[in-house]
Every structure is written in structure tokens, then in C-alpha cells.
Structure 1
């Protein structure tokens, strides 16, 4: 892949990178650093892209691996402060606050659960997700159901000011 083509692909799919960074990295400076690392890793690995899947799928996997690796190395991830959302009635929240609450709920999950729900929300099929993380589709279905219940409980608890 030529440099110009690579840069066009990165530009066209930068939303994937930002989406994953927002879910996994809380600090804006860390997000910038890891974004640069993702682009560097993609550049180094561009010859391994064999067009068996879409560029976005390839970039998604590469970005996710890079984020998780950086997260393990740095080990400075902050805990989500769900107390911010306590006491706010659903009627009083605007759409942006609700989105932030959902992101906080997802962010508070363990890495495996976060990966599963993120890929699910990004439109990957259960079979693709199961293959990606190395479990059976049935096991994935159970995990996905439990993750949705966990997120739902956190959102309900926030809505009612409960813990």
C-alpha cells in the first residue's frame, strides 16, 4: 500500500480510532499519544493488510490491540466517577449527558466486556466477535446478555440517584 493510499484510509476511518480511544482512555493527552501510536503501528503493519477484510475492520483490531497494550504498559487508567451522574433526573439530562453516562458505564466494565459491547455496538456480528475474542458464539451470547444487564443496572441506578 502506497503512502498516499494509506493516509486516505486513515483519514476516512479516523472515527473508528476516536471512538475506541474515547471508550478506553479517559485522559485527552493519553488519547493523543495513543492515537499517534495507533497510526504508527498501522503504518508499520500496512503490508500485513491483505484486503481479506475491510480496512476499517483491520484498523479496528489494530487500534484495539494497541490501546489495550498501552493501557497495560501505562497502568494509569482512572476509575469512573459515577457519582457525578447521581441525583440528575432523566428529564433534566440533555442528550449529551446521557451519552456521557453511557460511555462512563461502558468505561467501567472490564476490558473483555468492554471489547464485546463495543464491537456489538459497532455492528460486528456475534460470530465475528466470538472469533475475535476466541470463545463460542453461545458463550458470547451469554456474556453479551450479562453485559447489557450490567450497563442497564448502572444507568437505572444513575437515573434514580441510587448506587
Structure 2
């Protein structure tokens, strides 16, 4: 049991920023991001025994994180409630976002969850083959979807 705990700790330590990046792409609220992060960790822990190593560990982590965040995002939209916001932004304390980055994040957040996931993985400089493995579509479909997503982002009007 201790060996599994140590292995899990090592996996989380090495992939923490990846998990946070996925969670942050699905929410602007810091508490919600933290909740998503925690839910991803729970699902990773519960799924460790079933991970058979057929894919890269990072691919598996992306897949679990994306599926978890997409599920939470869908649930959130079904049960939409207004949330109070705190004026403290822990994510921006480390680096100041440019207006262009904020503009891009606003537009990406308006995409469908699967399209958001594809953009996130592409921005993380992941190959089309890996994106396809994570999302569960073909590499050609990734390419086609990215072209359509770029066009959709260009056509979006400001909020």
C-alpha cells in the first residue's frame, strides 16, 4: 500500500501543472478549479490499478483530467447557480496575464468542452497523435477540428 501511495505522490508531483492547466481551462473560479483538481486526483487514485501502461502516463492523466472536467462542466451547466467571487486571484499572482491572453481565454472558454480540450492540448504542444489518443478520435479528425476551431474563434464577437 505504501508503494502505491508513493507512486501516486510521484505522479501527482510530476504532473501537477498539467492537471491544473486542464482544470483552469474549464473554470475561472479559483475554488471551482481547486475542486476540479481534487476530483481529478480522486479519479486518478481510483484508476491507478486499472492503468495498464498501454499508453503514456501523461496521456492517461490528460484523459482522466479532461473527462473529469468535462463531466463537471456539463453538471455545472445543468445546475447553474450564481457564485460569489473573491477578489483574490491566486493564479495571477505568479504572472500577470496580458490583455491578449485574457481575450484568448475568454473566447476559448466559450467553446464546447471537447473543442476546449483539443485547444488546450494543442497549446500544450502535444502532437496530433497524442491528442487523438487522449480525446479518442483520429489524428486527421484532430487536424480538421483545429481548423474549424480556429475559424470559430476568429468569428467570435467580444463578450
**TM bucket by the smaller chain?**
0.7 to 0.9
What is the match of residue 70 of structure 1? 72
Q: How many residues align?
A: 142
CA separation of 1:27/1:43 partners in 2, compared to 1, >3 Å: closer, same or farther? same
| Matches of 2:107 and 2:134, distance apart in 1 | 23
What does the per-residue CA deviation read over 1:86-128, in whole Å, with 9 as the maximum and x for residues that have no partner?
xxxxxxxx85322222211211111121122112222332233
Q: Which has the higher helix share?
A: 1
**CA 1:131–1:8 in 2, change beyond 3 Å: closer, same or farther?**
closer
Residue 123 of structure 1: aligned partner: 125
Contact map agreement 1:26 1:77 (CA 8 A) in 2: no
Q: In structure 1, how many angstroms separate the alpha carbons of the residues matched to 2:25 and 2:81?
A: 12
4+ runs of 1 displaced by more than 4 Å?
none
Contact 2:60 2:134 in 1 (8 A): no
1:20 deviates by: 0.8
Which of 7, 15, 31 is equivalent to 2:17?
15
Alignment of 1:1-163 (within 5 A): 2-75=4-77, 76=80, 96-154=98-156
Distance 1:77 1:121, change over 3 A: farther
Q: C-alpha distance in 2, partners of 1:15/1:119?
A: 13
Structure 1: segments with no counterpart, 5+ residues: 79-93
Contact 1:17 1:60 in 2 (8 A): yes
Q: Is the 8 A contact 2:59 2:134 kept in 1?
A: no
Q: How much has 1:143 moved relative to structure 2?
A: 1.7
Offset, 1:36? 0.9
Q: Could you say which structure has the larger radius of gyration?
A: 1
Normalising by structure 1, report the TM-score.
0.74
1:19–1:147 distance in 2 versus 1, CA, 3 Å? same
**Equivalent residue of 2:48, what SS?**
helix
Is the deviation greater in 138-147 or in 104-113? 138-147
RMSD value, Cα? 2.5
